[in-house]
Amino acid sequence: MLVTGGAGYIGSHVVLALLEAGQDVLVLDNLSNSSLESLARVERLCGRAPRFVEGDIRDRALLDRLFAEQRIGAVMHFAGLKAVGESVQQPLRYYENNVAGSVTLCQAMAAAGVFRLVFSSSATVYGEPPQMPIREDFPTGTPTNPYGRSKLMVEEILRDLSLSEPRWNIALLRYFNPVGAHPSGLIGEDPQGIPNNLLPYISQVAVGKLKELAVFGDDYPTVDGTGVRDYIHVMDLADGHLKALAALAERNGVNVWNLGTGTGYSVLQMIHAFEQASGRSVPYRIAPRRAGDIAECWADPALAEQELGWKARRGLAEMMADTWRWQSNNPDGYRPASA
Distance CA 229, CA 134 (A): 12
**Which of 3, 17, 26, 33 is close enough to bind ligand NAD by CB under 6 A?**
33
**Which of 3, 8, 148, 205 is close enough to bind ligand NAD by CB under 6 A?**
8
Find the shortest distance in angstroms from Cβ 204 to ligand UFG.
10
Distance CA 162, CA 156 (A): 10
Among ligand NAD, ligand UFG, none, the one that 213 touches (CB under a kind-dependent 5 to 8 A) is ligand UFG
Distance CA 49, CA 15 (A): 9
Does the active-site annotation cover 94? Answer: no
Q: How many of the other CB atoms lie within 10 Å of CB of 166?
A: 10
Beta bridge partner(s), residue 229: 265, 297
**Which of 9, 67, 231, 265 is close enough to bind ligand NAD by CB under 6 A?**
9
Nearer Cβ to ligand NAD (34/203): 34
Binding of residue 261 to ligand NAD (CB under 6 A): no
Site string for ligand NAD, 175-214 (x = CB under 6 A): x--x------------------------------------
H helical segments located in the chain: 9-20, 37-46, 60-69, 84-89, 91-94, 101-112, 146-164, 198-206, 234-248, 267-278, 302-308, 316-329
Residue whose C-alpha is closest to residue 147's, from 83, 103, 211, 72: 83
Residue range at the interface with ligand NAD (CB under 6 A); choices 7-15, 238-246, 248-256, 320-328:
7-15
Binding of residue 255 to ligand NAD (CB under 6 A): no
Binding of residue 10 to ligand NAD (CB under 6 A): yes
Distance CA 174, CA 91 (A): 22
Annotated catalytic residue, options 95, 147, 175, 201:
147
Find the shortest distance in angstroms from Cβ 51 to ligand UFG.
28
Nearer Cβ to ligand NAD (57/273): 57
Residue nearest to ligand UFG (CB): 227
Find the shortest distance in angstroms from Cβ 204 to ligand NAD.
16
Among ligand UFG, ligand NAD, none, the one that 293 touches (CB under a kind-dependent 5 to 8 A) is ligand UFG
CB contact at 8 A, 84 and 147: yes
Report, in angstroms and rounded to the nearest whole number, the Rg of the chain calculated over CA atoms.
Answer: 19
Q: How many of the other CB atoms lie within 10 Å of CB of 280?
A: 16
Residue 30, φ and ψ in degrees, nearest 5: -90, 5
Nearer Cβ to ligand UFG (84/235): 84
Q: Which residues bind ligand UFG (CB under 6 A)?
A: 82, 84, 122-124, 148, 177, 196-198, 201, 213-216, 227, 229, 267, 290, 293, 297
H helical segments located in 101-260: 101-112, 146-164, 198-206, 234-248
Distance CA 270, CA 276 (A): 10
Nearer Cβ to ligand UFG (7/299): 299
Binding of residue 50 to ligand NAD (CB under 6 A): no
Binding of residue 148 to ligand NAD (CB under 6 A): no
Find the shortest distance in angstroms from Cβ 75 to ligand UFG.
21
H helical segments located in 72-145: 84-89, 91-94, 101-112
Residue whose C-alpha is closest to residue 122's, from 62, 182, 81, 73: 81
Binding of residue 262 to ligand NAD (CB under 6 A): no
Residue whose C-alpha is closest to residue 231's, from 130, 320, 292, 134: 320
Residue 11, φ and ψ in degrees, nearest 5: -55, -45
The footprint of ligand NAD on residues 87-146 (CB under 6 A) is: 97, 101, 120, 122
Which active-site residues does the annotation give? 147
Residues that bind ligand NAD (CB under 6 A): 4-5, 7-11, 29-34, 56-58, 78-82, 97, 101, 120, 122, 175, 178
